[in-house]
Copies of this chain bind each other. A is one copy, B any other.
Amino acid sequence: MTDSPLVDDRNVTPEELQLAARNHGMPLEGLRYDVTPAGMHYLLIHFDVPETRPDTWRLAVDGHVRSALDLGLRDLQGRETVTRRVTLECAGNGRARLAPRPLSQPWLLEAVGNAEWTGTPLAPLLEEAGLDDDVVDLVFTGADHGLQGDVEQDYQRSLSVKDAMHPDVMLAWEMNGQPLLPQHGAPLRLLVPGWYGMTSVKWLTRIEAVPDRFEGFQMLAYRRRDQADDDGIDVTRIFPRSLMIPPGFPEFFTRTRIVDAGRIDLTGRAWSGWGRIVRVEVSTDGGTDWQDATLGEQPTPVEWVPWRVAWEAEPGAYELVVRATDDAGNVQPLEQSWNHHGFENNAVQRVPVTVRSGR
């Protein structure tokens, strides 16, 4: 499918920089907020943010259904309304930490956010349309249009009937109590809690029920492959990750951290799409000795959980490391998890800090 060159140079190409200037991560001090403020949530847009108007927006639900639906935003807002906190992460998060590095959006660690989404559950809508017995996949089409891997396309992703009917899946028109921002899919997007973000199609215009497995460009693109021509494995749910708020204060350019000696509370968040987070461990010596962190409340498995650990910091140089384990048994690896397109790399965060004498 798509050619996806690998580069050995740790420096990032001008093309990657163009993407990094458009898309953006959540500065890690943003982990302090239960709900990620508007504009701090990570953002990955394949093509352009399309121009959309909420008053004329239509969603088609069609294909192999008994009653095709054609809905305006107000129609949807008149249905059952739910609000859910959901942690979203880009499947490419961690890609730029790989060597060799797959050329695409060069994420380090920041491609995450936890927002409060308001919308309507998808399952009742699909029930109302009435899926034909032969339906295999639901294809979700967004309004963003472009070229990728020589294929001109509207952005499209699919879900199996079973996954689409999951009670968590919703169509959202609000984020953090405000109408969706243009860059987050205004006026309407799909939201698939627990799954990497590429599944939650923004600027949603159509849901088509199809009798075959959908193999559109973005379905083939988001596969975990050891080599470019492998069949690969679908990228679906989010593998566990824990991130720490880098303690102390930064140096502007290198972002190295300086911490005053004394007792420090190291804090952060952890999440997984495969189950609840059951353990977060912190090391201050680069990953040899580990200390269990105290976990806060995780109201639902699809939002992040806060964690905290005390550290008696004495002057010196340290490498702080944090790793999470979920109740499906997934543990974050210490080494980068390499694959050809750089998906699902949930290797642990490492934060070098210099502790100086307290003052």
Report which A residues bind B (CB closer than 8 A): 9-25, 27, 29-30, 32-33, 37-41, 43, 45-49, 51, 96, 103-104, 106-108, 110, 145-148, 152, 181-184, 246, 249-255, 258
A-B CB contact pairs (8 Å), 14 listed: A12-B12, A12-B14, A17-B96, A17-B106, A20-B21, A21-B24, A27-B183, A29-B48, A30-B182, A38-B39, A40-B181, A103-B253, A147-B249, A152-B258
A135 to B147 Cα, complex, angstroms: 59
A104 contacts across to B, CB distance below 8 A? 253
A108-B17, A148-B251, A249-B147 known; A182-B48 Cβ under 8 A: no
Q: For the complex, give the distance between the alpha carbons of A9 and B182 in Å.
A: 35
- Asked if B255 and A37 sit within 8 Å, CB to CB, the answer is no
Which of B18, B252, B258 has a CB less than 8 Å from the CB of A108?
B18
Question: Are B37's CB and A181's CB within 8 A?
Answer: yes
Tell me the smallest distance from the CB of A112 to a CB of chain B, in Å.
12
Q: Is the CB of B103 within 8 A of A37?
A: no
A250 to B27, CA, bound (A): 27
Chain B residues whose CB sits within 8 angstroms of the CB of A15 once the complex forms: 253-255
Q: How far is the CA of A24 from the CA of B96 in the complex (A)?
A: 17
CB distance from A48 to the nearest CB of B (A): 5
For the complex, give the distance between the alpha carbons of A8 and B55 in Å: 50
A170 and B139 CA atoms in complex are apart in Å by 50
Please report the C-alpha to C-alpha distance between residue A38 and residue B21 in the assembled complex, in whole angstroms.
16
Closest 9 CB pairs of A and B: A39-B39, A24-B24, A11-B11, A148-B252, A20-B20, A147-B251, A12-B12, A29-B48, A22-B27
Check if B250 sits within 8 Å of A146, measured CB to CB: yes
B19, B145, B152, B250: the one contacting A253 at CB < 8 Å is B19
A24 neighbours in B (Cβ, 8 Å): 21-24
A9 CA to B16 CA in the complex, in Å?
14
**Neighbouring B residues of A13 by C-beta, 8 Å:** 10-12
Cα A10 to Cα B9 with chains together (Å) = 12
- List of B residues within 8 angstroms of A246 by Cβ: 48
Cβ-defined contact, B21 with A108, below 8 A: yes
- A47/B183 in contact, CB under 8 A: no
